[in-house]
């Protein structure tokens, strides 16, 4: 490699490569056909460097007009090499920021150890947050809290009070089961090639999995081990819960485990079976989890708990559903027949409206027939996020600008869960 060779690469705001010079091909070893529209500039850096430094470099380039420094990049063959890079923001003819340009010069007089950015302790912690997708555990936390509140509402007249230690164990066991599901899904999506072909994944983990394997944060075997450990610990946590509430907890746990594992794992791959994946997620993180939480508290399978899980089931299915829009191409290519693949992105928008509408309509109907206390109607306030997300989806279903709808749906689910909890918790005292 000549000392004078320079790599010039431009990318969009997500880091997806748009232009790739001949010098870049010489420096990195990839052809133009391999990278344009398929790879991101972050693929040239170690994953922890991306998490700990690259984001800051890009921000500084926008604030100051450029960022310049030394780092270590990855060649196609996996080897590291030392470089000096200058990053500048790119703009369209109207002056709007549309991406970045990186000019990279190899450094022959320095080895990678001399220029590799240091990885701080917080970055190492954040690495595990990314791998396990911890911010998305709200999908588990909300139904478990609602289940405890339903138990209080149903049995308050009998002097019932929530057992906080049991609630804590339920939250821990449910979260471990969720982590096992997340990591096993990443493993099997890697094995099937789905994640490799997904060029439209979110940098924030909204779709396309954690990208932990693809970023080099963890090996395929490593993430499989995390899944096994998480599932095993969840089973251990389940022992005192079974002793407290009986065998129904065991059966609910087995259903959750099998549904989570085989969501992407062969031979069933429920996520590929034309709506089966969305249905199972809605059931497991809705009626079954709410009922299981109430069961731990009361020792009873309360019909009200199953019903209280319906709106949360609709909304967590909506979270998964809207996140599948950017994954359409890679899912279709690997035979992962989500409902977005089955109907096509444009027609599938109606399905999202149906899920959101079903959630809030079920709340109204269950209040009107006397099953839920009237205070539960405060959960309708969360429909605001549904309305804005529907508007965004209909405009940008095939664009990176869909992201506010992804976040809006997650927020809608969490806010609904909090408001349902409040409605049931205080509902027993409202005449």
What digits encode the pLDDT tens for the residues 152-207? Answer: 999 987 888 999 999 999 999 999 999 999 999 999 989 988 777 777 776 666 66
Specify the pLDDT at position 3.
54
What is the torsional sign of CA 377, 381, 383, 387? positive
Is pLDDT larger for residue 211 or for residue 225? 225
In the three-class reduction of DSSP (H, G, I as helix; E, B as strand; rest coil), residue 163 is classed as: coil
Specify the pLDDT at position 91.
94
Q: Any bridge partners for residue 84, and if so which?
A: 70, 105
For residue 6, is it left (φ>0), alpha (ψ between -120 and 50) or beta? beta
Q: What are the structural domains of the chain?
A: 7-115 (3.30.450.20), 125-427 (1.10.600)
Question: What is the average pLDDT across 354-382?
Answer: 97
Q: Which two tokens stand for residue 326?
A: 């950017």
Specify the pLDDT at position 431.
41
Specify the pLDDT at position 266.
86
Specify the pLDDT at position 194.
78
What digits encode the pLDDT tens for the residues 374-398? Answer: 999 999 999 999 999 999 999 999 8
What digits encode the pLDDT tens for the residues 278-302? Answer: 899 999 999 999 999 999 999 999 9
Specify the pLDDT at position 203.
66
Residue 349 has pLDDT above 80, yes or no: yes
Residue 79 has pLDDT above 60, yes or no: yes
Is pLDDT larger for residue 333 or for residue 88? 88
Question: What is the average pLDDT across 7-36?
Answer: 94
Question: What is the average pLDDT across 121-128?
Answer: 94
Q: Any bridge partners for residue 113, and if so which?
A: none
Specify the pLDDT at position 29.
96
Question: Considering only CA atoms, which of 222, 207, 139, 220 is closest in space to residue 177?
Answer: 139
CA 119 to chain centre: 24
Place of tokens 């508007």: 391
User: Are 174 and 289 contacting, i.e. CB atoms less than 8 angstroms apart?
Assistant: yes
Dist CA 392 CA 403 (whole Å) = 9
Question: What is the average pLDDT across 332-349?
Answer: 89
Residue 420 has pLDDT above 90, yes or no: yes
Question: What is the average pLDDT across 351-372?
Answer: 97
Question: What is the average pLDDT across 341-347?
Answer: 93
Dist CA 24 CA 394 (whole Å) = 38
Mean pLDDT (the chain) is 92
In the three-class reduction of DSSP (H, G, I as helix; E, B as strand; rest coil), residue 369 is classed as: coil
pLDDT confidence of 327, banded at 50, 70, 90? confident
CA 186 to chain centre: 11
What digits encode the pLDDT tens for the residues 45-77? Answer: 999 999 999 989 999 999 999 999 999 999 999
In the three-class reduction of DSSP (H, G, I as helix; E, B as strand; rest coil), residue 188 is classed as: helix
Dist CA 101 CA 66 (whole Å) = 10
Q: Which of 287-296, 330-339, 341-350 has the lowest mean pLDDT?
A: 330-339
Q: Which of 86-100, 193-207, 415-429 has the lowest mean pLDDT?
A: 193-207
In this prediction the pTM is: 0.89
What is the torsional sign of CA 113, 116, 122, 125? negative
Question: Considering only CA atoms, which of 287, 298, 285, 365 is closest in space to residue 154?
Answer: 298
Q: Any bridge partners for residue 10, and if so which?
A: 19, 101
In sequence order, which residues have a C-beta less than 8 Å from that of residue 125 and are 6 or more positions away? none
User: Are 312 and 146 contacting, i.e. CB atoms less than 8 angstroms apart?
Assistant: yes
């Amino acid at each position: 490699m000549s000392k004078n060779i320079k790599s010039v690469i431009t990318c969009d705001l997500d880091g997806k490569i748009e232009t790739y010079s001949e010098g870049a091909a010489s420096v990195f070893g990839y052809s133009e056909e391999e990278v344009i529209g398929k790879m991101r500039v972050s693929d040239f850096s170690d994953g922890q460097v991306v998490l700990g430094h690259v984001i800051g470099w890009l921000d500084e380039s926008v604030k100051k007009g450029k960022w310049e420094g030394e780092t270590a990049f990855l060649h196609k063959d996996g080897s590291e090499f030392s470089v000096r890079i200058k990053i500048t923001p790119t703009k369209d003819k109207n002056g709007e920021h549309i991406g970045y340009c990186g000019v990279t010069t190899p450094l022959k007089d320095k080895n990678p150890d001399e220029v590799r950015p240091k990885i701080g302790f917080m970055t190492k912690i954040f690495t595990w947050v990314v791998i396990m997708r911890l911010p998305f555990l709200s999908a588990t936390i909300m139904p478990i809290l609602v289940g405890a509140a339903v138990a209080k509402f149903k049995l308050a007249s009998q002097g019932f009070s929530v057992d906080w230690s049991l609630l804590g164990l339920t939250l821990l066991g449910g979260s471990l089961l969720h982590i096992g599901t997340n990591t096993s899904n990443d493993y099997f999506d890697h094995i099937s090639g789905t994640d490799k072909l997904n060029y439209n994944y979110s940098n924030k983990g909204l779709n396309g999995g954690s990208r932990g394997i693809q970023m080099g944060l963890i090996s395929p075997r490593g993430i499989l081990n995390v899944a096994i450990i998480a599932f095993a610990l969840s089973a251990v946590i389940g022992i005192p819960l079974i002793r407290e509430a009986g065998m129904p907890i065991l059966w609910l746990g087995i259903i959750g485990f099998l549904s989570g594992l085989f969501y992407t794992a062969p031979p069933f791959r429920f996520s590929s079976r034309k709506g089966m994946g969305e249905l199972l997620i809605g059931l497991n993180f809705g009626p079954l989890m709410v009922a299981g939480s109430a069961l731990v508290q009361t020792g009873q399978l309360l019909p009200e708990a199953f019903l209280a899980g319906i709106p949360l089931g609709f909304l967590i299915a909506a979270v998964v559903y809207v996140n599948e829009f950017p994954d359409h191409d890679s899912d279709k290519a690997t035979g992962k027949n989500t409902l977005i693949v089955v109907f096509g992105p444009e027609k599938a928008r109606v399905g999202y409206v149906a899920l959101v509408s079903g959630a809030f309509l079920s709340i109204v109907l269950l209040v009107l027939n006397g099953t839920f206390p009237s205070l539960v109607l405060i959960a309708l306030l969360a429909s605001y996020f549904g309305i804005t997300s529907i508007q965004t989806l209909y405009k940008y279903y095939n664009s990176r600008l869909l992201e506010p709808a992804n976040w809006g749906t997650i927020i809608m689910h969490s806010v609904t869960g909090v408001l349902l909890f409040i409605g049931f918790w205080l509902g027993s005292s409202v005449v």
